[in-house]
Amino acid sequence: MSLSGTELSRSYFEEVVRPVVEDRWPRLPYAAARLGSGSDVLGLDDAMSRDHDWGLRLNLLVPGELVATVDAHLAEHLPESFAGHPVRFATTWDPVVRHRVQVDTVRDLAVSRLGVDPTDGLTTEEWLSLTGQAVLEVTAGEVFADGAGELTGIRRRLEWYPDDLWRHVVATDWARLAQELPFVGRTGERGDELGSRVVTARLAGIAMHLGHLLERRWPPYAKWLGTSFARLPRAGAAATSLVGALAADDWHRRQAGLVEALRALSLLQATAGLPTVDDPVEPFWDRPYLGVRDAAVGVLAETIRDPDVRSLPRGVGSAEQVSDNVDVLMHPGRRPPPTAARRVR
């Protein structure tokens, strides 16, 4: 069986990169890991993943004054290949054939992925500017060495939202579900099967995002969201209901599948220690459709104590709850800019 990307990176570090670095700097405090982009960072790479940007990739994190020197040393002393893979190759973002040991400081690596500096806590706005994928590119990959402990410290700091912000983003997903749940039936009842299916799919995506929040897991980008959701220890049980909703050939069954999933997630919310309601859905006026109860949002909002978080607009949460535009979410500078000065630790 061939090695996974992470296994290959670990072997490359242990057998090649570590000796090259430590022979030159035997006491250098550095970290080595496989972070950043790539399905292998999430442990989800397969044979198809190898057609681009896959191979001998590694992050080497060193003190700032040594970044250029270490990079040049590696360029001179690394071999041509390892384990049948080329050491130097082009990528989709860089056509130059060069070694792919990315030498950075811990801070610079984190900022390049997150768009904000996590070394001294984050403001409310900075937390909300993060996407799950951006955080996973710092926290999901395997760490092979961390002599100074700085990388480990940042990864711990990014484990999850502060409690009040957690409540806020969970409430936001319920608010988003409330915006359109009745439209599954309204469009279907009018004979708009395409519209009903589109709304159902959008709500299923929000429910999957909510499931990650309730499990305190950062959600990956769209390609891996379903895979990640199905693997969640408790929320993943709702996957069957969501699949049923998406496969249904009439709006009644679509609505029933979504409601079954939302009720399961509401029960999970209570298990997770967050306030919830007895039933998150109710009849929508006197129409034959169901909607999300206002109390499903309000019961969470009422328990938020931080005045900065309490002042945030209802139904507007993190960057990935505001937009699903990849060209916005992938580029930190295009996400909502941080403005608050107070640090949330």
* pLDDT tens column, 173-227: 999 999 999 999 999 999 999 999 999 999 999 999 999 999 999 999 999 999 9
For residues 122 and 236, state if they share a domain.
no
Q: Is the pLDDT of residue 293 over 50?
A: yes
8 A C-beta contact, residue 93 and residue 59: no
Domain boundary among 157, 181, 206: 157
Predicted pLDDT at 336? 61
In 3-state terms, the chain is what percent helix, strand and coil (to 5)? 55, 10, 35
With H, G, I as helix, E, B as strand and everything else as coil, classify residue 81: strand
Closest CA relative to residue 109, chosen from 128, 90, 134, 78: 134
Torsion angle of the four alpha carbons 35, 41, 47, 53, in this order, in degrees rounded to the nearest 10: -30
**Residue 264, both tokens:** 């399961």
Specify if 33 maps to a domain.
yes
Specify if 74 maps to a domain.
yes
**Higher per-residue confidence, 293 vs 43:** 293
Residue-averaged pLDDT of the chain: 92
For residues 271 and 296, state if they share a domain.
yes
For residues 201 and 266, state if they share a domain.
yes
For residues 131 and 201, state if they share a domain.
no
Specify if 340 maps to a domain.
no
Q: Is the pLDDT of residue 344 over 70?
A: no
Predicted pLDDT at 169? 97
CA distances (Å), origin 174, targets 22, 26, 232, 272: 52, 53, 19, 16
Closest CA relative to residue 3, chosen from 40, 51, 36: 40
Q: Is the pLDDT of residue 162 over 50?
A: yes
Predicted pLDDT at 34? 96
Closest CA relative to residue 31, chosen from 43, 12, 19, 13: 13
Predicted pLDDT at 147? 93
Which residues 6+ apart lie within 8 Å of 323 measured at CB?
329
Specify if 203 maps to a domain.
yes
Res. 343 pLDDT band, cuts 50 70 90: very low
For residues 11 and 143, state if they share a domain.
yes
Domain boundary among 157, 180, 213: 157
The per-residue DSSP string of 144-159 comes to EEESSSHHHHHHHHTS
Res. 234 pLDDT band, cuts 50 70 90: very high
Q: What single-letter amino acid sits at 311?
A: S
pLDDT tens per residue across span 244-265: 999 999 999 999 999 999 999 9
For residues 27 and 102, state if they share a domain.
yes
Res. 107 pLDDT band, cuts 50 70 90: very high
Predicted pLDDT at 5? 85
For residues 175 and 152, state if they share a domain.
no
Predicted pLDDT at 99? 95
Predicted pLDDT at 244? 97
**Higher per-residue confidence, 165 vs 314:** 165
Specify if 83 maps to a domain.
yes
Q: Is the pLDDT of residue 2 over 90?
A: no
Predicted pLDDT at 25? 96
For residues 86 and 103, state if they share a domain.
yes
For residues 140 and 172, state if they share a domain.
no
Closest CA relative to residue 110, chosen from 118, 100, 102: 118
For residues 184 and 323, state if they share a domain.
yes
Closest CA relative to residue 275, chosen from 299, 239, 259: 299
Specify if 317 maps to a domain.
yes
pLDDT tens per residue across span 300-321: 999 999 999 999 988 889 999 9
What is the average pLDDT across 275-295? Answer: 92
Task: Return d(Cα 275, Cα 268) in angstroms, integer.
Answer: 10
**Number of residues that make up the chain:** 345
For residues 180 and 198, state if they share a domain.
yes
What residues make up the domain containing 113? 5-157
Specify if 343 maps to a domain.
no
Domain count, the chain: 2
Q: Is the pLDDT of residue 135 over 50?
A: yes
For residues 178 and 310, state if they share a domain.
yes
pTM of the predicted model, to two decimals?
Answer: 0.92
Specify if 341 maps to a domain.
no
Q: Is the pLDDT of residue 105 over 90?
A: yes
Domain boundary among 95, 129, 157: 157
pLDDT tens per residue across span 24-75: 999 999 999 999 988 888 888 777 877 777 889 999 999 999 999 999 999 9
With H, G, I as helix, E, B as strand and everything else as coil, classify residue 54: coil
The per-residue DSSP string of 250-319 comes to SHHHHHHHHHHHHHHHHHHHHHTT----S-SEEE-TTSS-EEE-HHHHHHHHTT---HHHHTSPTT--SH
pLDDT tens per residue across span 79-102: 999 999 999 999 988 899 999 999
